[in-house]
Chain A
């Protein structure tokens, strides 16, 4: 800002007084035109970066058009949202996916119930308390956890909770794997929001004699609430599409199962994967219908997240 002001101030006054006029050669040009080579390079770069952006739009539009085009027939059918595939034959264009929608939602919600408190607490630790080597290690491990492939998280839950502790495959095991995938997203988003809370708010609270922990709970966290909620919704959107954990940790069921702690349970990705081995055309119909349903749910969450972030008390 100040540089702009200086420049605009110095320029006109310099030419107006003509102080530097005698230094100039009589007919020498002040500025030389850009050489052709530099012009071409500059234009080529502009074209290339614009092209890169347009190239990235191709797969996005292509995927969305494919999914909507092939899936819209299924989701508009009468039974789609209110029936399961219980007793529906592989070749039959009937039944619906509400059992899979329930599974997708309950697995993600259970994971959130575990991951959100831990994630927020860990973020509070990193921002408000963390010092020294332990904090640096924690921050490093959050990055590593963010990079752990979902299949590895699923294998870990299988090895720890099923092989060694003798648990059984169930939707809850899937939720445990999803917790590992949600945690880094929740921690990073909350951390970012907590750092945006102005120190003046904390200091004002301290000045009134409020202990630090109460300040965090009553002042800092509420201020960062909308950003935290946004992060949680984005994390939910991310884990709902995960297929690897459901493949390893729960069996597929064509009918509804309300109990996440026992038995097989369908989810939208698992339904799609199971129908891949269905050779009938109805299998494709269900796959693309489920794909469109999944994308719709994720889009609603994403939109919700951006709406919530509008109501943020603090801005970036």
Chain B
């Protein structure tokens, strides 16, 4: 999409300029001010044109203003609570807002749980998404790959609350043997060490698998789009050298699509970081601080805010949650911005 913007913008604007210039040369006879004509960028001037142009530009500006307003309003609401906070906001593992006169909240554990679950989800989803994208673009004819791609897209249509219900009621018991095996045999490694929950279901591990399923269609869609844009002659050149299908992929498709694949993964990561309700339902609350293990429980930024949503009455405690929301907003902003930069205009988020 962005690629097309950059490709098309110059051609369209030059076309506008020529048409404007064309009418300007005619106008020099009739109208005294050709410069004004050109500045409007339109073949024909008029009040309707100005109004319509203003309305559409205003809508564009509104989007910019909306994003700015999100950051601004969250900041304004968070600052009083941050000033009243008695704990260190970045290093404290507790999040205690029960007493408005004595706020103690920090985001250390929220950050740990959010990052652990999202990165674990990314680790599972990335190779699978790459495989699916290759399967759909390089291994199946177009006639079959389109309905297959639609099936993968259906994964994105399932609401997250349903993933949450399925995750805790069906998936968690099914994953229990794997979790037990991992902890029994690889328990010496900190990620698989015993966590702060008495059970092995409803852990970050379970939540990460659910998140992986949820971000799979996003990563796949972006990667598939980029892989399918691999220039035909790159592929044919590799084939002419006698490359097997896998070698064609390694020599032509992957180098071309790598940046898009990474961008798609970043978009998936952004979605996983902000996923709320599935995580809230699946990952159990823990009473002790995080052990940096996949078998921990706890809250992510998003699930903590949602869990407290019914208690948003006093301004100072509410501001503490808004501060957490602000951190989440900044995190997703950065991740999505990186995705866009990495993509270099090849993909449409």
B261 within 8 A of A: no
Q: Which of B89-118 contact A (CB under 8 A)?
A: none
Cα distance A46–B246 in the bound complex, in angstroms = 8
A16 within 8 A of B: no
Is the Cβ of A159 less than 8 Å from the Cβ of B155?
no
Q: Which residues of B contact A159 (CB under 8 A)?
A: 73-74, 76-77, 322
A90 within 8 A of B: no
Cα distance A287–B62 in the bound complex, in angstroms = 38
Query: Which of A93-101, A222-230, A235-243, A255-263 is the interface stretch?
Result: A235-243
Q: Which of A119-173 contact B (CB under 8 A)?
A: 119, 121-122, 124-126, 128-131, 134-135, 137-156, 158-160, 163-164
Q: Which partner residue on chain B sits nearest A119 by CB separation?
A: B59
B205 within 8 A of A: no
Interface centre among B52, B161, B274 (most CB of A within 10 A): B161
Q: Which of B4-28 contact A (CB under 8 A)?
A: 4-5, 8-9, 12-13, 15, 19
Is the Cβ of A147 less than 8 Å from the Cβ of B270?
yes
B42 within 8 A of A: yes
- Chain B interface residue count: which class? 35 or more
A238: shortest Cβ distance to chain B, in Å?
8
Query: Which of A19-27, A74-82, A183-191 is the interface stretch?
Result: A183-191
Is the Cβ of B151 less than 8 Å from the Cβ of A60?
yes
What number of A residues sit within 8 Å (CB to CB) of B? 103
Given contacts A45-B245, A52-B132, A213-B53, contact A241 B160 (CB under 8 A): yes
A302 within 8 A of B: yes
B127 within 8 A of A: yes
Q: Which residues of B contact A142 (CB under 8 A)?
A: 63
Q: Which residues of B contact A57 (CB under 8 A)?
A: 151
A273 within 8 A of B: yes
A308 within 8 A of B: no
A295 within 8 A of B: yes
* Count: A-B pairs, CB below 8 Å: 297
Q: Which residues of B contact A38 (CB under 8 A)?
A: 244, 247
A205: shortest Cβ distance to chain B, in Å?
9
A248 within 8 A of B: yes
Q: Which partner residue on chain B sits nearest A122 by CB separation?
A: B59
Given contacts A60-B151, A272-B161, contact A129 B56 (CB under 8 A): yes
Cα distance A152–B58 in the bound complex, in angstroms = 24
Is the Cβ of B166 less than 8 Å from the Cβ of A151?
no
Is the Cβ of B63 less than 8 Å from the Cβ of A151?
no
Given contacts A3-B236, A159-B73, A188-B348, contact A247 B309 (CB under 8 A): yes
Is the Cβ of B139 less than 8 Å from the Cβ of A46?
yes
Cα distance A81–B50 in the bound complex, in angstroms = 50
> Can you pick out 27 interface pairs between chain A and chain B where the beta carbons lie within 8 Å of each other?
A38-B244, A46-B139, A50-B135, A52-B135, A56-B132, A57-B151, A66-B170, A128-B56, A129-B53, A129-B56, A131-B13, A134-B57, A139-B2, A141-B67, A143-B339, A144-B67, A147-B270, A152-B328, A154-B309, A180-B66, A195-B4, A199-B12, A199-B15, A206-B19, A242-B160, A244-B276, A248-B306
Other than the given A144-B337, A295-B158, 12 more pairs (CB < 8 A) read A3-B236, A42-B244, A52-B135, A125-B59, A129-B53, A131-B41, A155-B321, A158-B312, A180-B70, A212-B43, A294-B162, A298-B157
Q: Which 4 A-B pairs have the closest CB atoms?
A: A149-B274, A52-B131, A241-B159, A213-B52
B residues whose Cβ falls under 8 Å from a Cβ of A: 1-2, 4-5, 8-9, 12-13, 15, 19, 41-46, 48-49, 51-53, 55-64, 66-67, 69-70, 73-74, 76-77, 127-132, 134-136, 138-139, 148, 150-152, 154-155, 157-163, 165-166, 169-171, 213, 216, 220, 233, 236, 242, 244-247, 249, 267, 270-271, 273-277, 281, 302, 305-306, 309-310, 312, 315, 318, 321-322, 325, 328-329, 332-333, 335-337, 339-340, 348-349
